[in-house]
């Protein structure tokens, strides 16, 4: 099973990135997820994906409702997609503490209980706070994550507020919560991939997301990290997911570009690792072309 941890469908033109003149809807996203993508000679699709609003659509603008109502408004489209396509989409709640830390935590719990959300996203740059100093803003949501075993995905890779080690205080305060370092510490402002790597090596509840990381670094890090520490994520849009699948597939090749990874290990990176973190049953890789073709049309009962 291939599971993407990082997808941004929207029914509005993204208000910060503005990639195209047409919204990147859930249906457009599903078409892209369906591929097929050739992995070790077999056709595959992205079976499931964690979806969240584009972060630029989660800040306050004139005319917005306030508090929990405003939060529910910016999460509404993602919630509707999780109900419409429960076999393909898993909810990722965007927590912006500037709408109210307690209000955000209450809405996070509502989305977990009502819609089966299994992840929460922190984007300190877009929302304008220092995560190492704003612990009072983060604690209410982290307590909800601890209660429901909800994974936290952290945007990282650019200053001033999303350098990976700035999240150490909250990570250490909540060792019972699993944190994923988004983009492997790489984004518009820099390359903090070695910070992300050592955080995952040294901290039991820290994992790294593969997307945006350089291929040569992925193989270097995968050789040393425990196998469960890398999860697949693409940040689509703007990215195209096939290139990041290819980056992981390369691990099955010989050194120096690869590490002779077996297909079970690749399946862990592409989906089974995150499946185990959120309570979804892992699956073995398809053994034959026929099995791979059949899986392109699989319907899972639900992600909840």
> Along the 304 residues of the chain, how does pLDDT read in single tens digits?
999 999 999 999 887 877 777 899 999 999 999 999 999 999 999 999 999 999 999 998 889 999 999 999 999 999 999 999 999 999 999 999 999 999 999 999 999 999 999 999 999 999 999 999 999 999 999 999 999 999 999 999 998 999 999 999 999 999 999 999 999 999 987 899 999 999 999 999 999 999 999 999 999 999 999 999 999 999 999 899 999 999 999 999 999 999 999 999 999 999 999 999 999 999 999 999 999 999 998 765 444 4
CA atoms within 13 A on the CB side of 56: 11
Nearest to 77 by CA among 24, 15, 11, 7: 11
Integer angstrom CA distances of residue 144 from 32, 112, 118, 138, 180:
33, 9, 11, 10, 17
Give 207's strand partners: 180
Contacts of 45 (CB under 8 A, 6+ apart): 2, 33, 34, 35, 36, 37, 295, 296
* Predicted model pTM: 0.96
Q: How many angstroms separate the Cα of 293 from the Cα of each of 207, 215, 252?
A: 31, 28, 21
CA distance 122 to 120: 7
Nearest Cα to 233, choosing from 278, 271, 266? 271
Q: For residue 269, which phi and psi values (nearest 5 degrees)?
A: -65, -40
**Taking a C-beta distance cutoff of 8 angstroms, is the pair 92, 141 a contact?**
no
């Amino acid at each position: 099973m291939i599971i993407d941890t990082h997808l941004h469908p929207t029914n509005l033109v993204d208000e910060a990135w503005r990639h195209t003149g047409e919204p990147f809807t859930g249906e457009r996203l599903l078409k892209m997820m369906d591929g097929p993508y050739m992995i070790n000679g077999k056709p595959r699709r992205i079976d499931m994906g964690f979806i969240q609003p584009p972060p630029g659509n989660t800040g306050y603008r004139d005319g917005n409702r306030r508090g929990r109502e405003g939060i529910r408004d910016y999460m509404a489209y993602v919630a509707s997609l999780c109900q419409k396509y429960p076999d393909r989409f898993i909810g990722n709640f965007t927590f912006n503490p500037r709408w109210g830390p307690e209000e955000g935590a209450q809405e996070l719990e509502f989305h977990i209980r009502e819609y089966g959300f299994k992840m929460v996203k922190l984007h300190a740059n877009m929302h304008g706070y220092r995560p190492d100093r704003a612990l009072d803003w983060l604690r209410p949501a982290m307590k909800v994550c601890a209660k429901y075993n909800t994974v936290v995905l952290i945007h990282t890779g650019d200053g001033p507020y999303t350098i990976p080690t700035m999240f150490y205080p909250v990570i250490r305060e909540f060792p019972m919560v699993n944190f994923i370092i988004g983009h492997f510490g790489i984004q518009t402002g820099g390359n903090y991939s070695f910070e992300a790597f050592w955080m995952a090596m040294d901290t039991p509840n820290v994992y790294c997301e593969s997307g945006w990381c350089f291929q040569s670094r992925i193989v270097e890090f995968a050789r040393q990290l425990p196998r469960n520490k890398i999860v697949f994520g693409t940040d689509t849009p703007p990215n195209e997911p096939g290139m990041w699948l290819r980056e992981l597939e390369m691990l099955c090749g010989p050194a120096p570009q690869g590490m002779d990874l077996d297909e079970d290990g690749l399946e862990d990176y592409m989906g089974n690792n995150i499946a185990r973190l959120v309570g979804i049953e892992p699956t073995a890789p398809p053994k034959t072309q026929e099995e791979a073709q059949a899986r392109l049309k699989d319907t899972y009962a639900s992600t909840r």
